[in-house]
Amino acid sequence: MKIKLNSIMVEDQDRALKFYTEVLGFKKKNDLPVGEYRWITVVSPEGPDDVELVLEPNANPAAKTFQQAMFAQGIPLTAFEVTDLRAEFARLKERQVAFTQEPTPMGPVMIAVFSDTCGNLIQLYQPL
């Protein structure tokens, strides 16, 4: 059993694709029409090409309620590992990314949290 796809709900697929590729630096792998929405996946240029993040349209009312509640509580919906959190934090701040938590040591990791502009908080972490 492998993890190949991980989904994140987004309020606007076009805005999400732009943010995840142009700001974060992921690469678009798939962008296919599926009815009124699209099947959009991105991959990390630093990781395996077959582990994809799906930018899911947030059309389900239950999912939207969950997403809004998690954001309001300050809880990230997913996490991405980086090798140098302080450098990544500086790079993303230059790109106007809104952080809700600056790099902070938390036991065996250092973490930071930002908004993806599409309704989600995302955690970055660096193993120490």
List the chain domain ranges. Answer: 5-127
pLDDT at 97: 98
For residue 33, the model assigns a pLDDT of 97
Share of the chain residues as helix, strand and coil, in percent rounded to the nearest 5: 25, 40, 35
Which CATH architecture best describes the domain 5-127? Answer: Roll (3.10)
DSSP 8-state code for residue 9 = E
Average pLDDT on 3-9 reads 96
Q: What pLDDT is attached to residue 58?
A: 93
Q: State the pLDDT confidence band at 128, using cuts at 50, 70 and 90.
A: very high
Quick: pLDDT tens for 55-81: 999 999 999 999 999 999 999 999 999
Residue closest to 57 by CA, chosen among 120, 115, 12: 12
According to DSSP, the residues that pair with 109 across neighbouring strands are: 106, 127
Please give the structure tokens belonging to residue 6: 């991980």
Percent of the chain, pLDDT > 70?
A: 100
